[in-house]
Structure 1
């Protein structure tokens, strides 16, 4: 592995990529000034899907991706492995902002994006454990069960309410009162997807310059520490790292993950998850999990602090307090787990916009952007890449009329108010879960915070 790619830094997923026999040393950096038709800053999912779509539609384009580390180094290679139809702004929020028809179009595009990823994985021969088993969101308290019932829909989003026995047949977790089930999610190994997609971009004629830091993104120009790229179109695809650029459209908040060794059949006979289902529960502080293709249990969640002035640093990828909390939480769900079952722990930043609404666009100056996925970026980035490609090529594609196109979130409050608000929000979600445990009623705290954030 390269100097920054220790297992402790980026976790199980990249360790497995290295064990597959793929070289993780950085590709050659930019060597002086150059030109391209499209220059994309960031070789994570958004940049890679944009390049992949552009080259598939116009193989003659000169597409160059600039990446400070290696392709997939950020959230694309470290996430929990959900390729889901989740969008940060829910249907109700989308309807309030854009109208029912636009909200329905956005939701339909997100559902389709899950299958678009699956099709591309098959077409490009990317071995990333893709298995579309849907998502089971557990209800383990009366308040969580009330939220589960409120989410049921027999419309296009297809959210089904499961009883205790139906739930246990899919996820053998303890203390379950019921669950919701949505079919629109696939389990993946995210770093294998990112690295496979990078190789597909190169096969189609794209160039990825790694170990190259973008210092400034301007109309028709990207200034790097290795030279200047002049391009007709420039795309910012930096997600959480957008917080270090101007304008600062997101704040970086850390999500952390723990993983077990491959667990025996006796464990999975009880725990289930045999069909590739991802799982969560209806608590307020986000958690997420999956059974991997090699029978590990991977479980992650929020709770790590936001760092003053939107700082991002490798030391923030690890928080032993949060790791311990995640191990406790997943062991409460699956009591058969033992402390020595856990073998890996890692984390990284994701980008959160002030209004919890992802955005994408291409300005008249030729500068494009996408991001603000709030941790739901695996399928959303595919939709972003296909939409950016349509905007760049001037295609009359229905995707360019989706309501997130042209959306710009308002800026976060200045420091120190930003630090206070973000960290208070994280703590209030934990408080809301404790409130519901004690009162057995939906949290007043959570409802107030949701209104404040515009959800």
Structure 2
């Protein structure tokens, strides 16, 4: 999938280093081969799909090709949220389908959080998971306005406090003692996980079930019935694209999804007295209601992992190892973390990393299979893929097997986003939008009112 092959996988992130895995690549594709189902990409999407297919029909010949080693990309180095977040609002999903179908998709996402945990346990994978939910702080008057609006919208959709609820300042601080807290929203539908342990466990699980996993086998082109790789052609009746942020490296796919980088830092393990001041006693994941996304979790070994947007989109959808580490963004993340929790000012930052996530032009994830060509796909998760990939994998398995199920009738199935604009338009638009969200947050800090800038730049990134 375009990136230079490497062998020092443990250096990619905290998760890669602490996955209790030597990351030794499995053998590459040994020349031309035939299969019933070919899957391109051994991240969460590809591996969940392979797992559910192998469970459903052990006689299927399933082959997965991976450019590097399973879990190399976003699946192995994300923020570790297995959440029910879907990268499109209920209203936008309903506009393309119906209110009932939008709610069905939301319900499926909620159920998928538990399915991730159940499937991991069934396969003997210790993902260091804790389902503590997510707390999203409101730390300004404008953020508090958005928090209340979010809960009011949920109630208008018939969703109760078991789905999302509003916390006042005292309740919010009791969960997470950030600075300047006015309140928060809370949902139980999220688990903190160690993503690399999960993705590596899935790779082992599919191989145990007879799936052929060919690593260090970059695919260069996908067409009906064939995956062209550097080591030969993989022929199959069904071909599934599961390449997410690396999709632009495939011939003819440069404008399908764009890679946008998200960067993360991690502290050393923090002592008990520091955690007593911060909170997160159930390992809740956390964020706040600013425009430029931030996210964090308390790890099983008591580190703070904290990430966010802010890195630029690179012209021509380029993906480079150098883009994983941007010192200015790491410094900004650290400053934000200390602003949230001054008690961690002296804590050492032991790990800094990043990676590319995939975004469709309408910011809507999709999954599907063209029965005529046999080409399937899933992706465009906008960074909310840990759980969504599981739903995608189960859905793709049903589609490949020709099943008509509740999953195959969900409204994201068969959705096709339009292509991104050619360069330099997308470079200008995306980076203007990202920069604008930073300005919007500063405007709100200064005025206390919802940002006018956010309304102006929103069309560039939605």
* Fold shared per TM-score above 0.5: yes
For 2:223 and 2:319, locate their aligned partners in 1 and report how far apart those are by CA, in whole Å: 23
Query: C-alpha distance in 1, partners of 2:159/2:396?
Result: 25
Matched, 1:447 2:460: no
Partner of 1:81: 80
Q: CA deviation at 1:3?
A: 3.8
Query: Could you tell me which residue of structure 2 aligns to residue 5 of structure 1?
Result: 8
Note the C-alpha offset of 1:37: 0.6
Cα distance, 1:338 vs. partner? 2.6
Deviation at 1:374, TM superposition (A): 0.2
For residue 189 of structure 2, the aligned residue among 181, 184, 190 is: 184
Q: Offset at 1:449?
A: 2.9
**Equivalent in 188, 208, 221 of residue 226 of structure 2:** 221
Q: Output the CA distance in 2 between the equivalents of 1:440 and 1:86.
A: 27
SS of match in other structure, 2:210:
coil
Partner of 1:114: 113
The one of 278, 287, 297 aligned to 2:294: 287
Distance, in Å, in 2 between the alignment partners of 1:317 and 1:350 is 11
The CA distance in 1 between the partners of 2:210 and 2:114, in whole Å, is 25
Could you list the per-position Cα deviations for residues 339-396 of structure 1 after superposition, in whole angstroms to 9, with x for gaps in the alignment? 5521110000000111010111111200101100000000000000000000000012
How far 1:451 sits from its partner (Å)? 4.6
Conserved? CA contact 2:129–2:192, under 8 Å: yes
Map 1:307-322 → 2, pairs under 5 A:
307-322=314-329
Superposed CA RMSD in Å reads: 1.3
Q: Tell me the distance in 1 between the aligned counterparts of 2:387 and 2:346.
A: 33
Correspondent of 1:371 among 360, 376, 379: 379
Give the Cα separation in 1 of the matches to 2:91 and 2:338: 34
Deviation at 1:159, TM superposition (A): 1.2
2-structure distance, mates of 1:453, 1:346:
24
- Does residue 412 (structure 1) correspond to residue 396 (structure 2)? The answer is no
**Counterparts of 1:243 and 1:274, CA distance in 2:** 41
- Return the offset for 1:198: 0.6
Match of 2:308 among 295, 301, 304: 301
* 1:4 Cα deviation from its structure 2 partner: 4.1
SS in 2 for 1:336: helix
The match for 1:135 is 134
Moved more, 147-156 or 159-168: 147-156
Q: Separation in 2 of the partners of 1:384 and 1:413? A: 26
In the TM superposition, residue 448 of structure 1 has moved relative to its aligned partner by 3.0
Alignment of 1:387 with 2:407, yes or no, is no
Q: 1:202 to 1:256 in 2, by over 3 A?
A: same
Shift of 1:243: 1.8
Shift of 1:174: 1.4
Alpha-carbon shift at residue 169 of structure 1 (Å) = 1.2
The whole-number CA distance in structure 2 between the counterparts of 1:400 and 1:54 is 15
Partner of 1:402: 410
The equivalent residue for 2:203 is: 198
Pairs within 5 Å for 1:23-34? 23-34=22-33
Match of 1:95 in 2: 94
Alpha-carbon distance between aligned partners in 2 of 1:452 and 1:430, rounded to the nearest angstrom:
14
Residue 210 of structure 1 is matched in structure 2 by: 215
For residues 288 and 15 of structure 1, what CA distance do their matches in structure 2 show? 21
Cα deviation code 1:283-337 (max 9, x no counterpart): 0000000000000000000000111000001010000000000000011111011
Partner of 1:51: 50
Helix, strand or coil at the partner of 2:291: coil
Shift of 1:101: 1.2
The counterpart of 2:363, out of the listed 349, 356, 366, is 356
The structural deviation recorded for 1:125 is: 1.2
Find out whether 1:36 has 2:35 as its counterpart. yes
Q: Distance between the aligned counterparts of 2:136 and 2:191, measured in 1?
A: 14
Distance in 2 of aligned mates of 1:30 and 1:16: 28
**Secondary structure in 2 matching 1:400:** coil
CA distance in 1: counterparts of 2:114 and 2:101, whole angstroms: 21
Name the SS for the 1:39 alignment partner.
strand
Aligned-pair CA distance for 1:203: 1.1
Which shifted more, 96-105 or 26-35?
96-105
Contact 2:10 2:22 in 1 (8 A): no
How many corresponding residue pairs? 449
Give the CA deviation at 1:62.
0.8
For residues 322 and 452 of structure 1, the distance between their equivalents in structure 2, rounded to whole angstroms, comes to: 21
The alignment's TM-score, normalised by the length of structure 2, stands at: 0.95
Give 5+ residue unaligned stretches, structure 1.
none
Query: Which of 10, 13, 17 does residue 15 from structure 1 map onto?
Result: 17
Q: How far is the alpha carbon of 1:168 from its aligned partner?
A: 1.2
